[in-house]
């Protein structure tokens, strides 16, 4: 069932998804720093404590390890917690809870226990928030068995990926790029949950596959528009799911275009970009006309100064140049 699409922002779409979850399932609770009165660091939960009360939308102390642990305990007790961590950088304070507890309990209990927990956290740079609030560490979590890792890049996915994540009996990490909250997009208000393990082709093309996720999807789309004017027909794939990776969609695309560029806002060394490049090479070696090209952030902490920050992370012009070198020169 579908309805007329409505225009909204990424932030409002995510808030609507959380609101619906709270309204339709008494097991859903929201935990995090300032998620109640302040409405969350990025105002995603603004007003929800007034609708559903402080037992359902609950402020926590500034202790990531403590409130993520509380979320794990609540999930084991039969609730469906949504835990908000301000930034992926701060999630490192809860790494033990996420990696050594939430991700392992099903395995260590022989399938007797599940942790139906969604952990929301922001990622990415572009807003001059400096080195302790701006990194893209999604690849760290995508490395861990027992977790699903998703990164909605559009308002529609912000609205409809959360219900699927909440229905999962095991922990899901949901990354929200901090530069996307004000982005406008159309959503189907009755569209329903989507498969969170599938990539989405945002633009079809025949000459090169540009693979991106989160904030880089929008830059890849802008680069594809520039490339079209230059005679290069680029396909843009939004991964959406970082664990598991949708290998079939990637392989089918690259088998047609014969070229692949992976655009990652994380660092190049040992990044998620390397796993994707290896996967494509393994699946598409005989159809590639050139090596898979990786484009990533500079190997530095994200700077505060705007001009340095812009220089440190991939921009539209960088993607255009990388694609042209690959398609035209084979390097």
Nearest to 123 by CA among 75, 177, 58, 68: 177
The 3-state DSSP class for residue 329 equals helix
Annotation says 64 is catalytic: yes
Separation in Å, CA 278 to CA 196, 199, 271: 22, 17, 11
Alpha carbon distance 150, 173 (integer Å): 6
Which residue in 64, 138, 176, 235 is the catalytic one? 64
CA 160 to chain centre: 13
CA 152 to chain centre: 5
| DSSP code per residue over 168-230 | -SS-EEEEEETTSTT-EEEE-TT-----TT--EEEE--SSEEEEE-THHHHHHHHHHHHHHHT
Which residue in 33, 49, 84, 133 is the catalytic one? 133
Tokens, residue 327: 């398609």
List the beta bridge partners of residue 148. Answer: 172
Alpha carbon distance 254, 83 (integer Å): 37
Residue showing tokens 């633009």:
203
Q: What share of the chain is helix, strand, coil (3-state, %, to 5)?
A: 40, 20, 40
Alpha carbon distance 320, 133 (integer Å): 28
Annotation says 49 is catalytic: no
Phi/psi of residue 293, each to 5°? -105, 135
Catalytic (active-site) positions:
64, 133
């Amino acid at each position: 069932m579908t309805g007329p699409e409505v225009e909204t922002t990424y932030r409002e779409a995510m808030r609507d998804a959380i609101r619906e979850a709270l309204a339709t399932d008494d097991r859903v609770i929201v935990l995090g720093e300032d998620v109640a009165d302040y409405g969350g660091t990025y105002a995603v939960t603004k007003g929800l404590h007034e609708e559903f009360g402080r037992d359902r939308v609950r402020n926590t102390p500034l202790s990531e390890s403590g409130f993520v642990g509380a979320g794990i305990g609540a999930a084991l007790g039969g609730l469906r917690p949504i835990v908000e961590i301000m930034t992926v950088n701060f999630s490192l304070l809860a790494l033990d809870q996420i990696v050594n507890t939430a991700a392992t309990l099903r395995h260590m209990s022989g399938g007797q226990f599940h942790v139906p927990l969604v952990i929301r956290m922001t990622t990415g740079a572009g807003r001059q928030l400096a080195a302790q609030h701006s990194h893209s560490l999604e690849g760290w979590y995508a490395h861990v068995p027992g977790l699903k890792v998703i990164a909605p890049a559009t308002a529609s996915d912000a609205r409809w990926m959360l219900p699927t994540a909440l229905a999962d009996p095991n922990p899901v990490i949901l990354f929200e790029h901090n530069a996307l909250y004000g982005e406008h997009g159309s959503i189907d208000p009755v569209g329903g949950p989507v498969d969170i393990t599938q990539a989405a082709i945002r633009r079809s093309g025949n000459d090169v596959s540009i693979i991106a996720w989160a904030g880089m999807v929008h830059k890849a789309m802008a680069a594809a528009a520039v490339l079209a004017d230059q005679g290069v027909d680029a396909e843009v794939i939004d991964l959406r799911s970082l664990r598991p990776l949708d290998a079939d969609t990637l392989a089918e695309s690259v088998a047609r275009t014969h070229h692949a560029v992976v655009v990652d806002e994380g660092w190049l060394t040992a990044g998620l970009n390397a796993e994707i490049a290896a996967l494509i090479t393994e699946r598409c070696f005989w159809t590639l006309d050139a090596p898979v090209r990786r484009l990533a952030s500079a190997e530095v902490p994200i700077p505060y100064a705007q001009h340095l920050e812009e220089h440190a992370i991939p921009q539209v012009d960088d993607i255009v140049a990388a694609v042209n070198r690959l398609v035209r020169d084979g390097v």
